[in-house]
Structure 1
């Protein structure tokens, strides 16, 4: 997990410390149940590709280029979601909304403005 979030530490030490502190306060049992029961038992997003292809809701797929485990899945989602945009932020990990707050919010604003114009 830390590997995909290490960019936050490099960019904003205080936010990294807050992130770590919040993580420490999570329920160990809850985290364990999520990792052992929820995540492995749910279908893969790849398994839902046919269902995603029928969605008409605009979607912004936002990820950092340092978030390797999510790159392939987001490329697949961009391919199957008819109204999806893909924004890949350089030198950014999994915590894109914390690492690049202004850029992330600007992307959301663009999507929101486009939606109102329709």
Structure 2
């Protein structure tokens, strides 16, 4: 892509972002302005359509295209994940609970010993 074409793309991207944010601002203003005149159902439909339009316009920018590619790649990677079975999850959970209990008992014991040592060294009674 040439420098001139890239500059034109950048200027159009700015315009597209401006249009996208203007649509979102119009949604907010319209929702506030028409709060009493139009039912919540029709306002919700207008919000969904407006946000969809704003996302469509934003998706036409260079960063929007990058975001779409990233989302597609992320979805592909999530499909590759091997999720644990229910049994593996339960076994791992039990191991973590047991390890936590053992460590808490060890720390409780060490704390008790250290309190007694400090009390002995300082001459303070418990």
TM over 0.5: no
TM-score norm. by structure 1 comes to 0.25
More strand by share: 1
More helix by share: 2
Max radius of gyration: which structure? 2
Tell me: higher relative CO, structure 1 or 2? Use CA pairs within 8 A at least 6 residues apart.
1
